Structure formats: structure tokens, C-alpha cells
Amino acid sequence: MLAISIVIVCGVADDMPPPAIDTILYTAEEIQARVRAMARAIDADHQTDDPLHVVGVLKGSFVFAADLIRAMRTPLTLDFIVIASYLDGATSSGEIQLLKDLDSAIEGRPVLIVEDIVDTGRTLHYLHAVLRARAPSSLKTACLLSKPTRRAVDAPVDYVGFEIDDRFVVGYGLDHAERFRHLPHIAVIEPPAPPPR
Ligand code: PRP
């Protein structure tokens, strides 16, 4: 309850009141336990000497990626790619934009895409096509959250943190109109508020 109050107080700095947070879906402790388990599974699957090239998809994955790589024991290198797929609010535009590409080539290297959430699957579908064309030695994906009922295109995920219902979630990197990314837990906004003008 304390965390919810802090969010509301901090949010009034803008001219528009923040949408109400309904429930906490996963606490910080639950997330950390799940992230550690995912890291163990990735470590167990990656048994080659080649460093795993971890590709975080910004912005949403930055918190998850930071925790996941620190829980992993396998050698790794890190890069980020910036993708935009949503309008500034609760609904998806359906369009994918590559705003920043990887810094290094991935040909012949094992690659792990790290996503915060897979919703329609369009972002991941696009990323798979773009990165596969660069001939990595392997291409796997870890996502913290997945909404299987929302899937519109094929987007296989190798490591899933939590499968969730079709609810608008924020926190732990996920935003609503750029708010709430800093929350250590994952919370639900219900109903989704319209985007600010
Ligand atoms: C979110 C999320 C995924 C994508 C998933 O990114 O981080 O990349 O949407 O949606 P999809 O499965 O329907 O394609 P967003 O475009 O909101 O940007 P952000 O990462 O900066 O929050």
C-alpha cells in the first residue's frame, strides 16, 4: 500500500493525473526469484565457451536485463537495440521502428534477446527476422512477461518468466506513457487510461 501511495504522489508533477494502480501482480521478491531461476536455465543450456551475446530491447527490458545478466554465470557480452512498437499509451500502433541498431556484428555468435514483455509478438517476430538474417550461431529469447492470448504473429520464446492475462502492466521497466518504469514490482493499471494529449 505504501508503494501505491508513493506512485500517486510522485505522478502529480505533470499536468495530467496518473492512472490509478489497481493491484500489484508480482512483488519485487517474486520477480527476483523468477529471474534467478531463468538465469539458471539459461546457464544450463549455454555450455559452449563462446560468450553469449545478450541483446536487451530498449527501453522496457533495461531493468530485467540488468538483473538477469547479474544472476547469470555464463560468459556474456552485452548490447542493446532500440525498438518502438507502441503509441504513447495503452494501445499498439502495430508498427515497428528500429531506432538504434546493435553496436557489433553477431555472425557466428550465440545471441540471447532479452525482452520485458511479448504481447502481440510483432516486435519479437520482427527482431527474429532481422537478427536471423545476420547468421548468429544460435538465437534464443528470454522474456519476463508473456500475454499468450494477445499473440497475433508467431513469436517463439525460449525462456518465459510469467504468463499473464490481457491486463495493462507497469513497473520493472514497463511504462504507461513513460511513467512507472522505476517501480520494483509489476502492477496493473485497470482500466488502461487514454494516452495524454
Ligand atoms: C513494448 C515491449 C516490447 C513490445 C511488445 O515496447 O517492450 O518490446 O512492446 O509488444 P508486441 O509483442 O505487441 O510487439 P514499447 O514499444 O512499448 O517500447 P518500450 O520498450 O520503450 O516501452
Q: What are 154-174's pLDDT values in tens digits?
A: 999 999 999 999 999 999 999
pTM (two decimals): 0.86
Which residues are part of the catalytic machinery? 119
Cβ atoms of residues 187 and 164 within 8 Å = no
Distance 116 CA to ligand 1 centre (A): 8
Question: pLDDT of the chain along its 197 residues, tens only?
Answer: 344 433 443 343 455 666 777 799 999 999 999 999 999 999 999 988 899 999 999 999 999 999 999 999 999 999 999 988 755 445 555 678 899 999 999 999 999 999 999 999 999 999 999 999 999 999 999 999 999 999 999 999 999 999 999 999 999 999 999 999 999 999 999 766 566 65
| CA 27/CA 2 separation, integer angstroms | 13
Residue 116 in contact with ligand 1 by CB distance below 6 A = yes
Test site for ligand 1: of 58, 91, 99, 117, most ligand atoms within 8 A of the Cβ: 117
Residue 175 in contact with ligand 1 by CB distance below 6 A = yes
